[in-house]
Structure 1
Amino acid sequence: MFTGIIQKIAELKEIRFFDKSVEMLIGCENFKTPLQIGDSLAINGVCLTVTEIETNSFKVQVSPETLSRTNLGGLEAGQLLNLERACRADSFLNGHIVQGHIDSLAEILNVDAIEDYFRIHIQAPAKLSRYLVEKASIAIDGISLTVNKVESGTSNFEVMIIPHTWEQTIAHAYHPGTQVNIEIDIFAKYVEKLLHPPKLNKPETLWVVG
């Protein structure tokens, strides 16, 4: 589990494409507690596993399912990445509960500077519009943000980014057309499932006559 508070900006050193998967070499100076093989990291909000460690860098593997839902497959060497380590059970929950399971890609429509702050307009897929609630939490490329406004009748919404977050994440590279990973608040999906459970096929009854 993660909290959506980005800890480092890392650089994609190399990306290797296989038939249906990807391996990424990511450059990153050590954390206070060194990484270990098997550790979970959120990279642009995507939960991935450290598979190999080199000097000031590490490798992760990306599955076909993850590539189909995220922006990782469209990255190039040299691009910057948001990085967050998995949180401990006794750590502060400074953002909100983020699983690292991306729901879909969304597109940056516009970025407006308002003094030192930045208002970002985003278009999500229509299927996610029912989860977009004003003042609710949402993760954009792993960044815990608040939905400031939802445009009525659309799947467009706005978030506001403070100067610190702008400088300490890849948000400063956003521009119209940028594809970002979004993760909806997990509690919204659980509530929907509980209120509207799917209809299950009625199992066939087997009669045994003796």
Structure 2
Amino acid sequence: MFTGIVETAGEVVGVEADEDGRRLRIRASDLDDLHHGQSISVSGVCLTVEAFGEDDDADWFEVFLASETVEKTYLGEVAVGDAVNVERAMAADGRFDGHVVQGHVDTVTTITGIEEVGEDWRFAFELPADHGQYVVDKGSICLDGISLTVAALDREAGRFEVAIIPTTYEQTTLREKAVGDPVHVEVDVIAKYVENMVDGYRE
């Protein structure tokens, strides 16, 4: 399980593709306790560390993207030099600062607007038609592995917005995003459980 509190922005330094999927090597700092088989979130996608090491005073790790991951996320399109958000799984005795994030991407949406407002930033996104019911005003949402709060929601226009503070903007890949770029979306899993529990009573 993750919390959506991104630890660092890593850089893709190697890409290998074959008929079974895609392997990425990612360089990232301050990841000194990596081990084989560890779960790790890469821009919101839960993956498994297959190899790790140190190169030029920076930590690196490798993950494999199965064909389903390639099809359902945009990680199948990242290239050497691209930035990705990195978060290790939450320790059992860790502080829970974000919200419950599984690393199971529901869908991919598109950035429709970016505006600087004072010291903060306002990002607007297309409301995913097949997951829009889980997006609520002031509710939690995970975008590219970042735990965020829905600041505005317009269902008629099919869009929602989040407010980004300077720390989040500087420490994540959002600073490199532009209008039209894809973003991974994981909706609040609690909403899914509630929907499943009450589904029989809505008939």
- Range into which the TM-score falls when normalised by the shorter chain: over 0.9
Select the residue among 118, 124, 129 that pairs with 1:126: 129
Are the counterparts in 1 of residues 148 and 162 from structure 2 also a CA contact under 8 Å? yes
**Post-superposition CA distance 1:66-89 (Å, at most 9, x none):** 112211011110011100000012
Select the residue among 178, 182, 187 that pairs with 1:184: 187
Are the counterparts in 1 of residues 43 and 144 from structure 2 also a CA contact under 8 Å? yes
Q: Partner residue of 1:135?
A: 138
Q: How big is the alpha-carbon RMSD for the aligned residues of Structure 1 and Structure 2? A: 1.2
Are the counterparts in 2 of residues 105 and 124 from structure 1 also a CA contact under 8 Å? no
For residue 144 of structure 1, report the CA deviation from its aligned partner: 0.3
Identity of aligned residues (%): 37
Q: Determine the C-alpha separation between the residues in 2 that align with 1:30 and 1:116.
A: 27
TM-score by length of 2: 0.93
Q: Determine the C-alpha separation between the residues in 1 that align with 2:126 and 2:96.
A: 27
**Post-superposition CA distance 1:154-180 (Å, at most 9, x none):** 431000000010000001111111100
Are the counterparts in 2 of residues 45 and 181 from structure 1 also a CA contact under 8 Å? yes
Are the counterparts in 2 of residues 129 and 154 from structure 1 also a CA contact under 8 Å? no
Q: Partner residue of 2:120?
A: 117
Aligned length: 196
Q: Quick check: 1:60 aligned with 2:78?
A: no
For residue 111 of structure 1, report the CA deviation from its aligned partner: 0.2
Q: Partner residue of 2:39?
A: 40
Q: Determine the C-alpha separation between the residues in 1 that align with 2:132 and 2:12.
A: 32
Once structures 1 and 2 are overlaid, which stretch shifts more, 176-185 or 64-73? 64-73
For residue 63 of structure 1, report the CA deviation from its aligned partner: 1.0
For residue 124 of structure 1, report the CA deviation from its aligned partner: 3.2
Tell which structure's C-alpha radius of gyration is larger. 1
Q: Partner residue of 1:98?
A: 101
- Gaps (5+ residues) in structure 1? 198-210
Matches within 5 A, 1:23-34: 23-31=23-31, 33-34=32-33
SS in 2 for 1:107: strand
For residue 152 of structure 1, report the CA deviation from its aligned partner: 2.8
